[in-house]
Amino acid sequence: MDTSEDTQLPVPDDLVVAAVAAGCTVALALVLRFVLGESPSYLVRLAPLWFYFVYLFVGKNAESGPLAAVRTWVLLVVATTLGVLGYVVL
């Protein structure tokens, strides 16, 4: 078998956004609980998942523009996570 050719499967856009949303949600919950000692409501803790669900209905159907880019949705998820952390700290 020739190992010089790397055969890579493309990662679906859904998987990228879902993985970032899941990672940010878990990280947010752990930081809120164990670092800050806070226990906000479930809606606040699950905030990074909101943009994943919006992506499923809006982003996948966008043909062009900023809403069609996966990077936009990933940045929205990360910004939401940081925003929630800032909101809870203040």
DSSP string, 24-89: HHHHHHHIIIIIS-----HHHHTHHHHHHHHIIIIITT--SSGGG-HHHHHHHHHHHHHHHHHHHH
pLDDT in tens, 51-83: 899 999 888 788 888 888 899 999 999 999 999
Higher-confidence residue of 26 and 64: namely 26
**pTM of structure:** 0.83
